[in-house]
Chain A
Amino acid sequence: MTPNTLTAHAILDLIKQKKLSAKDVFASVSAQIQKTEKDVHAYATIFDAPQIQENAAVPIPIAIKDNICIKGELTTCSSQILSGFKPPYDATVIQKLKASGAVFTGHANMDEFAFGSSTETSYYGPTRNPWNLACVPGGSSGGSAAAVAANEAIWALGSDTGGSIRQPAALCGVVGLKPTYGRVSRYGLIAFASSLDQIGPITKDITDAALLLNIIAGHDEHDSTSVDLPVPDYTKALRNDVKGLKIGIPKEYFIEGIDPQVKKSVFDAIAILKKCGATFEEISLPHTEYAVSTYYIVATAEASSNLARFDGIQYGLRRKPDHIRKTPLIDLYEETRDIGFGTEAKRRIMLGTYALSSGYYDAYYLKGLKVRTLIKKDFDEAFKKVDAIITPTSPTTAFKIGEKTNDPLSMYLSDIYTISANLSGIPAISIPCGLSKDNLPIGLQIMAKPFDEEMLFRIGFTFEQNK
Chain B
Amino acid sequence: MNQQTQQFETVIGLEVHLQLDTKTKIFCGCANAFGHEPNTLTCPVCLGLPGSLPVFNKQVLEYGIKIGLALNCTVSSFIKFDRKNYYYPDLPKAYQISQYDMPVARNGFIMAPSQNGESKKIRIHRAHLEEDAGKLIHDDAANCSLVDYNRTGTPLMEIVSEPDMHSPQDAYEYLQMLKLTLQYLNVSDCDMEKGSLRCDANISIRPVGQTNLGTKTEIKNMNSFKAVKEALSYEIGRQESVVRSGGVIVQETRLWDENKQMTFSMRSKEEAHDYRYFPEPDLVPFTVSEQKIEEIKTALPELPLQKQARIKERYRLNDYDSFILVQDPLVAGFFEECVTLYPDAKKICNWITGPVLQELNAKKVPITELKLSPKNLTTLIQKVEEGVVSNLVGKDILKNILETGQDAGDIIQSQGLAQVSDDGALLKIVDELIKENEKVVGQIKAGEEKAIGFLVGQGMKKMQGKANPKKITELLKRRILDV
Contacts and interface: CB of A to CB of B under 8 A. Distances in A.
A195 B282 CA distance: 7
A311 B93 CA distance: 9
B283 A82 contact: no
Nearest to B283: A224
A466 B168 CA distance: 83
A305 interface: yes
A342 interface: no
Nearest to B55: A224
B121 to A, nearest CB: 33
Nearest to B274: A358
Interface string B78-111: 0000010101010011110000000000000000
A191 B92 contact: no
Given A88-B44, A329-B89, A358-B274, A224 B54 contact: yes
Contacts of A234: none
Nearest to B88: A329
Contacts of B52: 89, 187-188
B50 A356 contact: no
Given A308-B93, A308-B94, A309-B92, A224 B56 contact: yes
B51 A309 contact: no
Contacts of B338: none
A358 B276 CA distance: 6
B341 interface: no
A69 interface: yes
Nearest to A356: B276
Interface in A40-81: 67-69, 75, 77
B214 to A, nearest CB: 24
A329 B145 CA distance: 10
A91 B278 contact: no
Interface string B41-62: 0001001111111111000000
A191 B53 CA distance: 9
B209 interface: no
Contacts of A365: 278
Nearest to B280: A194
A142 to B, nearest CB: 20
Contacts of A399: none
Interface in B16-65: 44, 47-56
B278 A356 contact: yes
Contact of B53 (A68, A87, A187, A305): A187
A398 B51 CA distance: 30
Contact of B51 (A69, A304, A310, A358): A69
A373 interface: no
A353 interface: yes
A314 B94 contact: no
A374 B274 CA distance: 29
Given A329-B89, A356-B278, A313 B147 contact: yes
A221 B55 contact: yes
Contact of A225 (B44, B276, B282): B282
A87 B55 contact: no
A346 to B, nearest CB: 16
A333 interface: yes
Interface in B277-295: 277-278, 281-284
B130 to A, nearest CB: 16
A302 interface: yes
A365 B282 CA distance: 17
A110 B329 CA distance: 61
A187 B85 contact: no
B278 A309 contact: no
A38 interface: no
A280 interface: no
B55 A222 contact: yes
A69 B50 contact: yes
A287 to B, nearest CB: 21
A87 B50 CA distance: 8
A195 B281 contact: yes
A88 B49 contact: yes
A91 B51 contact: yes
Given A194-B281, A314-B92, A356-B278, A305 B50 contact: no
5 contacts: A85-B50, A190-B50, A224-B53, A224-B284, A309-B93
- Pairs A-B, 5 closest by C-beta atoms: A308-B94, A194-B281, A356-B276, A195-B281, A190-B50
Interface of B: 44, 47-56, 83, 85, 87, 89, 92-95, 147, 274, 276-278, 281-284
Interface of A: 67-69, 75, 77, 82, 85, 87-89, 91, 186-191, 193-195, 221-225, 301-302, 304-305, 308-311, 313-315, 329, 333, 353, 356-358, 361, 365
